[in-house]
C-alpha cells in the first residue's frame, strides 16, 4: 500500500509574520517589487474607520509609491462592487493591488489584480481554472484571523440575491502575505469568535477532506488547530492580547494553506445557504452548523477526529469514538464560551425555512464531495433541524 499518494501543494511564495510589519509595508514592497509606483489599497468602511489604513499608506508614500484607497468593499462582496473597484484601479493606473481587510476585501483585491490589467470580463472567470494570463502584483494583509484568503487561490462573489460564485485559479495566490496582529487589536469579540471558528473549521475540514488530504495540509491543519484552540478565548476575552492575536493570525493562515490544497466540505456546504439567504456572516454560519455536521460525520471520521482531539482536548481518553466525540464537545464549548449565537433560531431562521436550506445545500456538490460521509438531502435537513 502506498501511504503517500501523489499530491500537489501550492501556496504564497513570500510570507511576513511580524508585529508592526504593516507600518513598514512600503519598505517590504520596495524590496520585493522595486519597479512599482502606484498602489491601490483595498478595504471596507468598517476597517477604514479604525484609522489603521493610515500607517501602511504613509509607509508606502515614504517609499515613493503613490497610494489610492478603495474603501467601498462590503461583506460578501457583490459583483457590482468588484466591477466598481476594477474601474477605480484602472482610473488610478495602479500597478500593484494590496488587500487590507477581512476575507471580503482580500477577495476583491484578488479579482482587481486579475481583471484590471487583463482583457477578461468577470463573467468569464467564474469556476475553476478560467483565469487567463497574468495579473497585477498582489499583496494581502488580513485584519481578521479567519478566512485565510491571504494564502488561498479562491475569491467568492455574491452573484445573485442569495447565490455566491467562486473564482478558483492559481493566479489568485498572492505574491506576498503580511501578518501583523496590531491590525486586529480592535476586532470586536464576537467577530473575533466567528472568524476564528471559521479558521478552525478550515483546519478540521482540510484534515478530513476525502479527495485531496495530503501530508503537508495535515501538518499545517494540526499546527493551525493547536494555535487557534489555545488562543481564541484569550483573544476574545482580551482583544489587546498581542501574542494571542498574532497566534490567531498565524493559525488562520496555516489553516488557509491547508484547505487551499485539501478543500473544505459539508460544514461550508451547509453554511453557504445560511449566509446567502439570511446574510449571516460567514464564520457565524459555519459555527452554527459545525457541531451537528461533525456529529453526523463521526461514524466515518472518528479516527481522524480522535487525532485532532489530542490537539484540542489533550486530556481526552477512551475509545476512538469517545475521543472523536470529545472534539465535537470541545468545539461546542468554545462557541459557548465566546457568547456567539448557537442556534438557527437566534439568527432569525424559521422552521419553515429548513427545507429550502436543505435544497440549497445540496447544490454545493463540489464541497459535499469532499465530506468524509455522504450527505443526502434528508441528512442535510436533519442537520439543520439539529442546529435549529
Ligand X SMILES: NC(=O)c1ccc[n+]([C@@H]2O[C@H](COP(=O)([O-])OP(=O)(O)OC[C@H]3O[C@@H](n4cnc5c(N)ncnc54)[C@H](O)[C@@H]3O)[C@@H](O)[C@H]2O)c1
- Among 105, 192, 217, 261, contact with ligand X (rule: CB under 6 A): 105
Binding-site size for Fe ion (CB under 5 A) equals 1
155 is a contact residue toward ligand X (CB under 6 A): yes
Stretch that binds ligand X, among 24-32, 100-108, 325-333, 340-348 (CB under 6 A): 100-108
For residue 144, the partner it binds in Fe ion, ligand X, none, with Cβ less than 5 to 8 A by kind, is: ligand X
* Three-class HEC string of the chain: CCCCCCCCCCCCCEEEECCCHHHHHHHHHHHHCCCCCEEEEECCHHHHHCCCCHHHHHHHHHCCCEEEEECCCCCCCEHHHHHHHHHHHHHHCCCEEEEEECHHHHHHHHHHHHHCCCCCCHHHCCEECCCCCCCCCEEEEECCCCCCHHHCCEEEEECCCCCEEEEECHHHCCCEEEECHHHHCCCCHHHHHHHHHHHHHHHHHHHCCCCCCCHHHHHHHHHHHHHHHHHHHHHHHCCCCHHHHHHHHHHHHHHHHHHHHCCCCHHHHHHHHHHHHHCCCHHHHHHHHHHHHHHHHHHHHHHHHHHHHHHHCCCCCCCHHHHHHHHHHHHHHHHHHHCCCCCCHHHCCCHHHHHHHHHHHCCCHHHHCCCCCCCCHHHHHHHHHHHC
99 is a contact residue toward ligand X (CB under 6 A): no
Binding-site size for ligand X (CB under 6 A) equals 30
198 is a contact residue toward Fe ion (CB under 5 A): yes
277 is a contact residue toward ligand X (CB under 6 A): no
175 is a contact residue toward Fe ion (CB under 5 A): no
284 is a contact residue toward ligand X (CB under 6 A): no
List the x/- string, 25-64, binding to ligand X by CB under 6 A.
-------------------x-xx--x--------------
143 is a contact residue toward ligand X (CB under 6 A): yes
180 is a contact residue toward Fe ion (CB under 5 A): no
Binding site for Fe ion (CB under 5 A): 198
Binding site for ligand X (CB under 6 A): 44, 46-47, 50, 75-76, 101-105, 107, 143-144, 146-149, 152, 154-156, 183-184, 186-187, 191, 195, 282-283
Amino acid at each position: 500500500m502506498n501511504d503517500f499518494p501523489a499530491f500537489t501543494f501550492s501556496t504564497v511564495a513570500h510570507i511576513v509574520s511580524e508585529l508592526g510589519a504593516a507600518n513598514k509595508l512600503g519598505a517590504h514592497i520596495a524590496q520585493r517589487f522595486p519597479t512599482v509606483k502606484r498602489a491601490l489599497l483595498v478595504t471596507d468602511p468598517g476597517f477604514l474607520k479604525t484609522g489603521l489604513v493610515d500607517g501602511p499608506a504613509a509607509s508606502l508614500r515614504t517609499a515613493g509609491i503613490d497610494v489610492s484607497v478603495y474603501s467601498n468593499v462590503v461583506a460578501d462582496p457583490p459583483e457590482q462592487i468588484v466591477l466598481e473597484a476594477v474601474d477605480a484601479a484602472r482610473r488610478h493606473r495602479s500597478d500593484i493591488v494590496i488587500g487590507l481587510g477581512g476575507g471580503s476585501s482580500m477577495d476583491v483585491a484578488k479579482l482587481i489584480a486579475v481583471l484590471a490589467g487583463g482583457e477578461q470580463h468577470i463573467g468569464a472567470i467564474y469556476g475553476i481554472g478560467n483565469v487567463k494570463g497574468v495579473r497585477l502584483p498582489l499583496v494581502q494583509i488580513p485584519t481578521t484571523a479567519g478566512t485565510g484568503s491571504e494564502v488561498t487561490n479562491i475569491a467568492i462573489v455574491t452573484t445573485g440575491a442569495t447565490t455566491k460564485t467562486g473564482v478558483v485559479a492559481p493566479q489568485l495566490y498572492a505574491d506576498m502575505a503580511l501578518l501583523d496582529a496590531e491590525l486586529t487589536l480592535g476586532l470586536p469579540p464576537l467577530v473575533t469568535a466567528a472568524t476564528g471558528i471559521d479558521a478552525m473549521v478550515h483546519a478540521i475540514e482540510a484534515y478530513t477532506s476525502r479527495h485531496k488530504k495530503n501530508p503537508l495540509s495535515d501538518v499545517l491543519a494540526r499546527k493551525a488547530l493547536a494555535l487557534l484552540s489555545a488562543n481564541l478565548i484569550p483573544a476574545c476575552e482580551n482583544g489587546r492580547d498581542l501574542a494571542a492575536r498574532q497566534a490567531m493570525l498565524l493559525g488562520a493562515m496555516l489553516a488557509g494553506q491547508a484547505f487551499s490544497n485539501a478543500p473544505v466540505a459539508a460544514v461550508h456546504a451547509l453554511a453557504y445557504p445560511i449566509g446567502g439567504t439570511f446574510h449571516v456572516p460567514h464564520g457565524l454560519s459555519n459555527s452554527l452548523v459545525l457541531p451537528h455536521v461533525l456529529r453526523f460525520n463521526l461514524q466515518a471520521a472518528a479516527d481522524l477526529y480522535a487525532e485532532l482531539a489530542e490537539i484540542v482536548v489533550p486530556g481526552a481518553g477512551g475509545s476512538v469514538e469517545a475521543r472523536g466525540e470529545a472534539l465535537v464537545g470541545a468545539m461546542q464549548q468554545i462557541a459557548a464560551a465566546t457568547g456567539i449565537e448557537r442556534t438557527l433560531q437566534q439568527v432569525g431562521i424559521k422552521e419553515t425555512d429548513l427545507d429550502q436550506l436543505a435544497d440549497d445545500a445540496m447544490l454545493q456538490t463540489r464541497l459535499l464531495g469532499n465530506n468524509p460521509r455522504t450527505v443526502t438531502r434528508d441528512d442535510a435537513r436533519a442537520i439543520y433541524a439539529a442546529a435549529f
